[in-house]
Structure formats: C-alpha cells, structure tokens
Chain A
Amino acid sequence: MSVDFWINVGVLAGIYGIFTLGLQLNAGFIGLLNFGQAGFMAIGAYAVGLLVVDFGWSLWLALLAGILLAVIGGLFVGISSLRLRSDHFAIATIAFAEIVRYVLQNAEFSGGNQGVLGYDEEWRTLSDWALAKLALIGLGDYTQLPLFIAVWLAFLVLLAVLIVLQGTPWGRVLRGIREDEDATAALGKNVFAYKLQSLAIAAALAAVAGFFVALNVTFLYPSVFDPTFTFFGYAMLVLGGFASYGGVVLGGILFWTLLEGTRLFDTALSAGQQASLRFIIVGFFLLLLSRLRPQGLLGNRAEMRVRP
C-alpha cells in the first residue's frame, strides 16, 4: 500500500512508544506493575480537548495542564495503592483506568460517547506551515508527515532523557529497588518516594502520548482509551525487551508493523473477523513471548524481576 499507510503506522508506533516508555520505567526498571497507563493517557488527552474547546485555552498550555493533571492522577493512585502487593496493585490500577473511562463515557462534561471535537486548530495551522516547508523538498503530499515528525521528535527526546536519567544515581536506586527493596531501604533510600516518582513520570509520559492520540484521531471518545491499549503497551515492552529503553523503539516498530501489516493481506474474511484476528494475534504474541523469551528481544534475563 501507500506511503501514507506506513507513515500512519509510524505515528502509532511513536505514540505508543512514548506510552510504553512509562511502562518500561515502571515495570522494567523499578518493578511496578502499572496497568493503568491508558487511564493516565485518557486524562491527558481529555484535559487537552476540554480545556481548548470549553475554556478556550491555547493547545500548548492545555498540553502542560494535561501533563500536570495526569501527574496528579499518578500521585493519587500511587499514594493510595503503592503499599499493596504487586498483583493487587496491578488490579487496582486497572480498576482506576476503568473508572476514568467510565466517567468519560457517562459524565456530562466529557461529551460521553459523542466525544470532544474541534481542539486541534492550532495544530492544523502548524501542520500546514510544516507541510508548506515539506513541499519545498517534494514531500508536501503526505498530510500526516508533520505529525509523524512531531511524534518521533518527542519520542526520541524523551527516550534520550530517560536513558540519561537511567545512568544517574537516581536511576541506579530504581534498579536497586527492583532487585532488593529491603536492602535499598536499609541503605536509607525512601523506596516509596522513588516508586511514586516513577509512577508520576510514567503518567506524564502517558499524557504526552494522549496529546498525540488526540491530534491523530482528531476527535476524542472513550473507547480510544480502553485498557486494552495498556496491554498493547506491554506487548510492545516484552517484544522489544525488558529493562531496555532501546527495546521500546524496536518493540514499537515491530508490534505496529505486524499489527497493521495484517491489513495489507487480502483475505476472504469480513472486516469484523479481520479485526478479531488482529487481537488474537496480539494474544498469541503475549502468550508465546512470555513462554519462550520473557525478557524480549533486547532484554536481559537477569534484569527480569518483579517482587511479589
């Protein structure tokens, strides 16, 4: 198919790459099973949409507010639930994400299933400007190219920041907590604070991803933020590699290429069956990877540890 198709795949890989960086920071580096990432993404995206449409904020200011709100959400979830066992924490975070989605679906302020529309004017202006520039080098026909560039720029910058952070004493404490929480605490580190920071950063990353989702889908409705997308994030994570930020890039590209690539095959199946088949493939992926190569392609088996 066309170049546009693959640009779109790239956009998705980038957006969910940013999303999965947060999961990597939580599950990969500190051993927190955060399954509520889609909820944080929804908070970020809806904050952007609603602040622009209902309150007339600038899109960029709304992005900052969305990140801030998602961080507050992360702190709220963390402060209330971090002391739970890891499996209970995972269930609590899923429940949180479902509550967020439910509220968005049913409350008055969010437009319910009709969604939020018309927040991306400023982005359109910027995008048209970028397209005019791209036209000079003969790439003006690809309308999604500016979004692709913006997403991947953000992805790579955030990736670089996280890799740098990982080399700092702060990053080493995170891994220390993953390996032995009690020993790290005995060294005088405030384990709870580190976990909370890790969760808050993940929520902020989810909000950035949510911002780009909002620009990509051009109107927001609750099922864009189904908890299934958190599972997609984990599929990317285990595919690329556990405790490896580079793995998120690889996992993102591979996962979305495989998932969207299935659209290219002409089959006798109905559209509904093809959609089902894509999810079945993701399911088998998770099953097989967990069984055959739990650390993922670039991961290190010795770094796979989640405390009970």
Chain B
Amino acid sequence: MAGSNEAGKADALQPHGAGTLRLSRPVLLLLVIVVLFAALVALYGFDATAQATVNGLVAGGYLGLGAIGLSLILGILKLVNFAHGDLLVAGAYFTILFGWLGLPLVVAMLFAMIATAALAVLTEKVVWQPLRQAGAGTLQLFLSAIGLALVLRFGIQFFAGSQVRTLGADIVSSITIGPIHLGTLQAVALVTGLVVMAVVGLALRFTGIGKEMRAFADNRALAEVSGINTRRIIDVTWAASGFLAALAGILYAVAIGSFNPNFGVTLLLSLFAATVLGGIGNAYGALIGGLVIGLSQEWSTLLLNARWKPAVGFALLILMLLLMPQGIFGKARRRS
C-alpha cells in the first residue's frame, strides 16, 4: 500500500504538492523512536532512559539475529517454523556440551554455531523437504513444526536437565560509561550483536549468495526462472538460519547470564514480532524489527514492572499483524 516507492512517486509527481506530507514507513518509524526517546528522557531523566536504551540494544542484538532465520524461512518456504526458538536453545546447549568436552569457551561457541547450522539443515532433509514433496498443507506444516519444536526442546531437556545453567563465563565484572552500567558480558553481547548484524546486512547486500537469498525470498518463481539453484539456496538458508539462531542463543545466554531449555519458546513470539515488524522474508527488516522489539521491551520497563516485558512483545506482535501485516519494510501484499 503506502510503501516507500509509492511515496517517492507521489513526491515526484507533485514536487510541491498541496501541502500533504507523506512519509515512508521507515522514516515514520525513526521519527516515532526519536519522539519516544525524547519523551522518556523528559519523563524519567536521561540516565534511566539511556540505561534502558542500552539494555534494549543488547536485547535487540539477539532478537534481530534470531529473527533473520525465521523471516527468511517464512519468506522462502512459507513455513512458520515454531522450532526456531529451540535452535537458539540448541546453540547455547551445544556451547555447554563443547565446553564440557574441554574446548575453550570461544571455540566451543563457534563449534556450537556450526553444529546448530548442521542441525537446521538436517531438519530440512529429514522433515521439511519430504513434507513439501508430499504436498503438505498449512496445518500439516504447522503441526510438524510444533512436533519438531517439542522433540528439540525436550530432547535437550532430556540430556541436559531443566535446571538453570550458565555458560560458565565471568558474570560479575561490569563496566561503567558515564551514567550507564553494563556487565562486561552484556557489553560483549552488545558489540558482537551489532557487529554481526552489520556483517550480515553487508553480506546479504553484496555477496552473490546473499543476493540470491533475497531474490528468492522476494519472488520465488521469478528467482527460479532466472536460474537460481533452488535446492542450494534452501540449504544455505537453513544453514545460515541455524548459525545465526545459535549465535543469538549464545548472545542471549551471555547477556542474561542464566537460562534453561525453555528460553527459546519464551523468545519465539518476540522473534515473530520482529519478523512481522520487518516484513516477512526481509532480512534487514528482521534486524531492525529485532532492535525495535528489544527497545520497546526495555523502554516498557520504565513505565511498567519488568515482569511485563514479554507481554509487550506479544502485544506488539498482535498489533503489527492487525494494523500492518506487511511490516515496516514489506511491500504491499502481492497476489500470488
């Protein structure tokens, strides 16, 4: 509907239009964020707001990275992957496993990401590809995703137990910059999250495989006609999805400090919110969506008790679905 293209066209046609100001949705979003920030500063003071904003960016890092895979899979395969949250959990628990096997923490993390990527590809080969070939309907896909989510989550719980765990890193030290206090690990998660988000964004933009993935998510039929290798793209998308999900899970584990196997399912609706906000199938959108959801949840702690944080994510998800199902960066619905 009123996408940026249309707004641009309207401007071009009426360079000095009759005083009607039409903003594209991303600009509008930026304005809303700036206004909200200013309002919060006015109400709660700069220090508290800045602290909540930094916390929001930390959350935005893992939510954004976690949402990319969900969004691409939903865009490319039209699959609502309920098991995605459990890939985040797999990342954190693989890290524990490799650490237990004696690897240094950072190496264990890297191995965990690779292992989770392999796990994601495995689910494609064992579950999703056969289902697609059998011409499965929406409900079948839904139920399979739920089934897979249960198998993954409780499989992890079976071996690792449901007790609260940590990655075993130093969670006490903290750094202070001006009025903002931040655990060293949170700072690491923040920096890593933002850097990886930038790298992923650049990779999608400039590498051949990134372009192909975006083209595929955008219009599958057209991409296939242009000679893109379908099966390869799907495999790469699953691998990337699992890799980034594991990274997101690890960042969550690092930033929050302690976790149990249920954290993926708790985060899942926030990840969906980020996905819908950014426009389904749009990887950049998912990154921005994650940041917006992270900021909203942390900013909400200024107004409400912190225990309502997840509910803010759910409410945003419903609001987005109702008011703007095509998302901030999505295009008007295509008839297919």
Contact = CB atoms under 8 A, between A and B. Distances in A.
Interface residues on A, range: 35 or more
B138 interface: yes
Contact of A289 (B80, B143, B272, B321): B143
A234 B141 CA distance: 13
Q: Which 10 A/B pairs are nearest by Cβ-Cβ distance?
A: A286-B147, A283-B150, A283-B151, A287-B147, A279-B154, A276-B158, A276-B154, A290-B140, A290-B144, A283-B147
A284 B136 CA distance: 17
Interface stretch (B29-37, B191-199, B310-318): B310-318
B317 A280 contact: no
Contact of A272 (B137, B161, B314): B161
Interface stretch (A5-13, A84-92, A123-131, A192-200): A84-92
A285 interface: yes
A297 interface: no
Nearest to A288: B147
Nearest to A97: B314
Contacts of A273: 158
Given A88-B321, A276-B158, A306-B138, A290 B269 contact: no
8 contacts: A33-B142, A80-B318, A94-B269, A95-B318, A103-B311, A106-B305, A106-B308, A272-B161
Nearest to B150: A283
A280 B325 contact: no
Contacts of A27: 139
Contacts of B315: 95, 99
B269 A286 contact: no
A92 to B, nearest CB: 5
Interface residues of B, number: 44
B289 to A, nearest CB: 14
A56 interface: no
B151 A291 contact: no
Contact of A291 (B144, B152, B157): B144
Nearest to B161: A272
A95 B310 CA distance: 11
Given A92-B321, A287-B151, A33 B311 contact: no
Contacts of B157: 272, 276, 279
Nearest to A307: B138
Interface in B284-329: 305, 307-308, 310-311, 314-315, 317-318, 321-322, 325
Interface string A222-260: 000000100100110010000000000000000000000
A181 interface: no
A88 B325 CA distance: 8
A272 B158 CA distance: 7
Given A98-B269, A287-B151, A294 B136 contact: yes
Contacts of B189: none
A106 B130 CA distance: 42
Interface of B: 78, 80, 127, 130-131, 134, 136-144, 146-155, 157-158, 161-162, 269, 272, 276, 305, 307-308, 310-311, 314-315, 317-318, 321-322, 325
Contacts of B137: 294, 304-306
A282 interface: yes
A99 B143 contact: no
Nearest to B155: A280
Interface string A24-52: 00010000010100000000000000000
B147 A284 contact: yes
B136 A90 contact: no
B131 A95 contact: no
A106 B136 CA distance: 39
Interface string A264-308: 000000001100110110111111011100100000000011101
Contacts of A19: none
B63 to A, nearest CB: 15
Given A272-B157, A290-B143, 20 more contacts: A80-B318, A81-B318, A86-B138, A88-B321, A88-B325, A95-B314, A99-B318, A106-B305, A228-B150, A231-B150, A234-B146, A276-B162, A284-B147, A287-B144, A289-B143, A290-B136, A291-B134, A294-B137, A306-B137, A308-B138
